[in-house]
Structure 1
């Protein structure tokens, strides 16, 4: 699954085999988010991670969200999800 536009945000949900993989995937998102000083909304639990990207100040999706989405994709690629 790739990123979708939903309610003014880019959203991607990853299915994971267990809680620790979900946690590690969330951890992998931290560095790219800090590098861009743009922070996603994250939800995770056993078997899933949901990432939502939006620029609250702009009231929706901006180029910065697309840039972070690309960096997140690269960061989670080693997980094979």
Structure 2
């Protein structure tokens, strides 16, 4: 099982991620798109990096808005897996 990251390190790592916030025990990013089709295209881009990492985000879709939540459920909070996947997601267009 992945090891939890302590509060200080969470804050430090989160400050290096543009567009992400800490919400309880989750990293959260919300993106707005022109329309539903662009929003779904973005969601589809999440499949490859998520599968490669063996780590899957919780995703909320509301027309042109996509919210991605990352947490390591089996560890009960934030781990290296979450920050690594957040960096990959941040690099997606």
Looking at structure 2, the residues matched to 45 and 22 of structure 1 have their Cα atoms a distance apart, in angstroms, of: 9
Runs of 4+ off more than 2 Å: none
Looking at structure 2, the residues matched to 31 and 50 of structure 1 have their Cα atoms a distance apart, in angstroms, of: 18
Q: 1:23 aligns with which of 40, 43, 54?
A: 40
Partner residue, 1:33: 50
Partner residue, 1:72: 89
Partner residue, 1:50: 67
**Superposition TM-score, scaled by structure 2 size:** 0.78
Unaligned runs of 5+ in 2: 1-17
Q: Which structure has the bigger radius of gyration?
A: 2
Structure 1 position 58, deviation (Å): 1.0
**Secondary structure, aligned partner of 2:30:** strand
Q: CA RMSD in A?
A: 1.0
Q: If each structure's helix is expressed as a fraction of its own residues, which one has the higher value?
A: 1
Q: 1:4 aligns with which of 21, 34, 49?
A: 21
**For this pair of structures, how many residues does the alignment match?**
76
Looking at structure 1, the residues matched to 22 and 75 of structure 2 have their Cα atoms a distance apart, in angstroms, of: 15
